[in-house]
Each structure stands twice: as structure tokens, then as C-alpha cells.
Structure 1
Amino acid sequence: MSRRLIAPLALVTLSILSLFVGVTEIGTGDVLRDPEARALMLTSRLPRLFAVLITGASLAIAGAIMQMLVRNRFVEPMTVGTGQGAALGVLIVTIAAPGAPLLVQMTLAAATAFGTSLGFLAIAHRMPPSQPFLVALVGLIYGGIIGAGVTFVAYQADLLQYIDIWTNGEFSGILQGRYETLWLAAAVAGLAYLAADQFSILGMGRTVSIGLGLNYGQVMLFGLAAVSLVSAMTVTIVGMIPFVGLVVPNIVSRIMGDDLRRTLPQIALSGAVLVLGADILARVLRAPYEMPVGTVLGIMGAALFLWLLYRPAPRVR
């Protein structure tokens, strides 16, 4: 079987399984005969499936773009301050305007995520490219400082319970009417695919990019905006989902190379498969209780990252 068919087949299989996994047992016959089973499928199971797929695909694409912007394979939005910046924006809205619509929360979250991403990018570009692990370490410290600030402000405002929602990504609260704005993240990821060739050139560095005729500053700002929007939407709706933007682009890159025009569809599929698999595990490991998907992905992602570090890269086909 071709490696390119593994992700689509896994996605279809896991998607069907996801629709029938949960506290309430539903069979295919129940969906056809029982109106309550159909209602549950339409109001809970299908929206949750769509939210999981969009989140996984868009975060994986955002991670690939971030790695091109920073020219470092060991960064992703949720570890270098972008996700923490989005949480800061949501916290500011919650304190200043508790009744603000979800769109307002997302807008401010995207703005603060953009600002924190810009800050990390300024730091990363002043660091030696020969020290990739140092860039990742600084990113973790930078994101940790922002996250600590968010936690402190939330503690002062008695909002620590909300911080748990934003920092522990999970899909149990996804219902029809409460996830649809995530389709905007899918649209942003689709726009990023249109600029895939430019991001590939951007990853070669400023001098090479300008020499090839690329508008370096414009593409850089567009990439940051795309990453910030995706991070803000996912943090606002489902919370922080770690490691997806880190391990998925690296795995696909090892197999298919660094041409984003060629690899982005596979990155999106693989990200959706990873998050969907983690979501199913979160539902069955302690059934009838449910674990946060962020916890499951924290364990899976750490294991995959260690595997990436110590396994030799295969030959690109």
C-alpha cells in the first residue's frame, strides 16, 4: 500500500468509529430507526467530528507555516507563545467585556496572538541558525512566561477555572451551534495552501527569498496572520492542543520533503488523523468518563517527538 493512502484510509476508518463511540451507545440501525439517536448524531457526534477534523488539520498546517517562518523544525504555535497569546486575548475580553460575542473574543485573541508571535519571531531571527534546539528552548521559555502572566492575572480576577478550559484542549462541550466558527480556521488553512510555494521559498531565508523576487515582509506577515487566526480560533473554541503542529509536519517532511505545495494536503490529513485518534482514546480509556484530548496528545506527542529525534530520517521519494 502506498504511504499516501495510509492517512486517507485511517481518516475514514476513525471518522466512522468516532460517530459511534461515546457514553450513549448508538448502532447504525439506531440511526435509521430511532429519532433520538438521529438527533444525538446531528447535534453532538457530527459537530464533534467536524470540530476535531478542522482543529487537527488547521493546527498541523499552522505548525508547518510557523516552522517555515522561523526556519526551525522544533517550534509550533502552542509552544512559542502564539497559543498563550490567544489565551491572553480571551482573558482580556472576559475581564473587560464578559458579555462580548464569540467573534469579538476571537478577534482580540487573534490580535494578541499575532503580537506574541511577532515578538518570538523577532527573538528567533536574532539567534544563531546553527543552534535549532536553542531556538526551541527559548520559545518554550517565552511561551511559559506569557502563560504564567495569563495564570497570574486570572488568579487575581478569580478566573482560574476558565484558564483550565483554554489550556486543556477537549471536545466534550462541542455541540451544534457552538463550533461553526472553526470553519473560518479551515478557510484560513485553505488560503495558506494557495501561498504554499511562497512559504517554501520563505523557508530558505531572507536573502535567498528576496533574491528570488519574493516580497519577504508581505509573505511573513501573511504567514503570521494565518498562524495567529488559526491559534485564536482553536484556543477560543476547544483550548490548546499541543504537539500537533510540531510532530505532524516533521513526520510528513521526512517522508515527502519540504515542498509545501506537495506536502500540505498530507499534513492536513495526518493532523486530522492524529487528533481524531487522540479524541477516540480520550473517550474510551476511562469510559464512561472522558479525558481531555490535550492530555492524551501530550503523552502521544512527546513519544512521537522522541521517536523523531532518535530515528534516522528515511529517504525522500
Structure 2
Amino acid sequence: MRPVLLVAGALTALFFLSLALGAGRLGTGSDAVWLLAVSRLPRTAAAMLAGAGLAVAGVIMQMLARNRFVEPATVGTGQAAGLGLVAVALLAPGAPLWFRMLVAMASALLATAGFLALVRRLPFRDPLLVPLTGIVYGGILAAVTGFIAYENDLLQYIDIWMNGEFSGVMLGRYEFLWLAGAATLVAYAFANRFTIAGMGEEMSLSLGLSYGQVMALGLAIVSVVTAVTVVTVGMLPFVGLVVPNIASQLRGDHLRRSLPLLASAGAGLVLTCDILGRIIWYPYEIPVGTILGVIGAAVFIWMLQGRRADAG
């Protein structure tokens, strides 16, 4: 069976399983319709949109940085979005959600551009320097955010944004995530250009591609997806790292060909972790960000070990 069909079938099964799970009984009649429409359908859609968007943002980030070991949550993009949220909480505490999202988006864009400018100075002969630099860079931003939040008694506030979970997702509180879905469609439309940009600036220019414009579009997509995810459900780590590497093994590096599998697998991974979070400690929940952190960290270490073995 083709990988896309297999992932699509698994995603369909996860979709209906997610609708059936919950602390409250689904029952029948109008109460069941209300519960599905107000809570379980929005939660399931939010998990799928966030997962698909973050997977696509991850592969674009890897192409822009020309490194398979980076993703928005490990290079400071998510941390910068959190810093933007703290700034809004201090300077404009009554600001609406859309304004917070715009500030988080601008912060994520600046931080990601800064990271890419930084890694351009690193030697490409040692690809592990790039993710290590990203971890340090993101750690500095997270430390600054944590310090400001601590000094202004906002630690509990920032923890809500930085630890992703879907328990609070309801109708009317997840719709910004459709922007992540729209960004995924834009990425598919420009997939061939991102594939060429991943070959490097010199190769892109020799093929007549406007490298700067593609970089700007990629940064915009990564920033939009990261910001709306952090603002809506919090940070979801490692989705953009694990899924693109697995999809690359199955479908290669041609983005237009692999992107449907990539988006479906990202949606399936986040939805699976959300379902596990509801089952493991039923009727209580484990945040999906916690489960993703454990799985993603294990896969990241395995990838690094595999890279070292290949180098040896």
C-alpha cells in the first residue's frame, strides 16, 4: 500500500477515535450533537491543523537552514513568539487575541531571521553545529522570556502558552489555526521553489530563482504557523523535526511530492499524542506537549546517534 494511502487511512481512524473519546459520555440526540460541534470536532480539527502546519513549517525551516536537525521549536521561533506574548501582556494587557497573534508573529519572524543569519556564518562541514546553535539560541530567548515573566509575576501566564495542550479548545477558540492550514496550501503552491532554495543560494540564482523572495516567503510561513499555534494551543515541540525526516525517507526531498504525506503525518502525530494524553491518565489529561517532548527528544537523540555512526 502506498504510504500516503496508509497514512490517510490511519488519520481517518484517529479522527473518529478522537471524536469518541472524552471525559463526558457522548450519548445520543441533541446533547451529542452539541458536544461534537462545540468541543470534540474543534479539538480534533485543532490538533490536525496544528500538526500539519508545524510539519510543513519544519521542513521549510530545514530547507532554509539547509539542515535536517532544526525546526521552529528548537531554533527560537516558538520561544520568540512567547516573548512577544509577554511583551503584549505587559504593555497592552487588554489587547484582543488577534493583536497578540500579530505581535507573536512579528517576534517569531525576527527571531527566525536572526537565527538564519547566524547559521550562515557556520561551517557546513559540521551539520551538528546548526542544531546546537539553535538550541542555545532558543534557550537564551526562553531565559529572557522567563526572567521578564518572573519579574512581573507572569510565570503562570507564560507556562500556559509554552506547554501545548488541547483541553481548552472549543468552538470559537481555535479558528486562528485555519491560518496554519492556509499557510500549508501556500507552501504547496510554492513547493518547487522551496526545493530549489534548499540547494543553496548559488544554485538558486543560477536557475533564475529569486532566492531572497523565497527566503522571505518561507520565513513568513514558519512565523505564521508557529505564532498561531503558540497563541491558540501553546508550543508543540519536535513535530517539525520528526515528521519531515521520516517523510524524507519515504518520499525523498522533492517537497511537492512529499508534502501531502508530510502534512497528513504531522496531523496524525499530534492527534495520536492528544489521544494518548486523554487515555493514559483518564479521566484526567496529560498535555500533548509533554508527550511530544518525550517522543521527539528520543527520536532526536536517535537521529544524532545515526548521524555520528554515518560519519564514523
TM-score category of the 2 structures, normalised to the smaller one:
over 0.9
Between the aligned partners of 2:306 and 2:143, the Cα distance in structure 1 is: 34
2:130 matched to 1:135? Answer: yes
Between the aligned partners of 1:192 and 1:311, the Cα distance in structure 2 is: 29
Between the aligned partners of 2:57 and 2:95, the Cα distance in structure 1 is: 27
Q: How does 1:1-317 map to 2 (within 5 A)?
A: 1-26=1-26, 30=27, 33-309=28-304
Could you tell me how far 1:57 is from its partner in structure 2? 0.1
Q: Secondary structure at the match of 1:172?
A: coil
Distance 1:5 1:310, change over 3 A: farther
Q: 4+ runs of 1 displaced by more than 2 Å?
A: 1-4, 302-312
**Structure 2 unmatched runs, 5+:** 308-312
Could you tell me how far 1:2 is from its partner in structure 2? 2.5
Output one character per residue of 1:170-199: Cα deviation in whole Å (capped at 9) or x when no partner. Answer: 000000000111111111111111110000
Q: Contact 1:57–1:272 at 8 Å: present in 2 too?
A: yes
Could you tell me how far 1:262 is from its partner in structure 2? 0.4
Q: Secondary structure at the match of 1:291?
A: coil
Between the aligned partners of 2:71 and 2:103, the Cα distance in structure 1 is: 21
Q: Contact 2:4–2:260 at 8 Å: present in 1 too?
A: no
Between the aligned partners of 1:144 and 1:224, the Cα distance in structure 2 is: 20
Q: Contact 2:84–2:103 at 8 Å: present in 1 too?
A: yes
Could you tell me how far 1:305 is from its partner in structure 2? 3.0
Name the amino acid aligned to 2:133. V
Between the aligned partners of 1:90 and 1:111, the Cα distance in structure 2 is: 11
Q: Secondary structure at the match of 1:154?
A: helix
Distance 1:311 1:142, change over 3 A: closer
Q: Contact 2:3–2:261 at 8 Å: present in 1 too?
A: no
Q: Contact 1:251–1:308 at 8 Å: present in 2 too?
A: no
**Structure 1 unmatched runs, 5+:** 313-317
Name the amino acid aligned to 1:94. A
Q: Contact 1:249–1:267 at 8 Å: present in 2 too?
A: yes
Could you tell me how far 1:307 is from its partner in structure 2? 4.2
Between the aligned partners of 2:130 and 2:289, the Cα distance in structure 1 is: 24
Name the amino acid aligned to 2:6. I
Between the aligned partners of 2:55 and 2:25, the Cα distance in structure 1 is: 31
Between the aligned partners of 1:37 and 1:89, the Cα distance in structure 2 is: 39
| RMSD of aligned alpha carbons | 1.2
Q: Contact 1:283–1:290 at 8 Å: present in 2 too?
A: yes
Q: Secondary structure at the match of 1:128?
A: coil
**TM-score normalised to structure 2 length:** 0.96
Distance 1:81 1:236, change over 3 A: same
Could you tell me how far 1:34 is from its partner in structure 2? 2.6
Between the aligned partners of 2:71 and 2:273, the Cα distance in structure 1 is: 18
**TM-score normalised to structure 1 length:** 0.95
Could you tell me how far 1:25 is from its partner in structure 2? 2.5
Between the aligned partners of 2:143 and 2:301, the Cα distance in structure 1 is: 26
Could you tell me how far 1:35 is from its partner in structure 2? 1.6
Could you tell me how far 1:167 is from its partner in structure 2? 1.2
Output one character per residue of 1:91-138: Cα deviation in whole Å (capped at 9) or x when no partner. Answer: 111111111111101111110100000110011111011111111001
Could you tell me how far 1:304 is from its partner in structure 2? 2.8
Identity %: 55
Aligned residues: 307
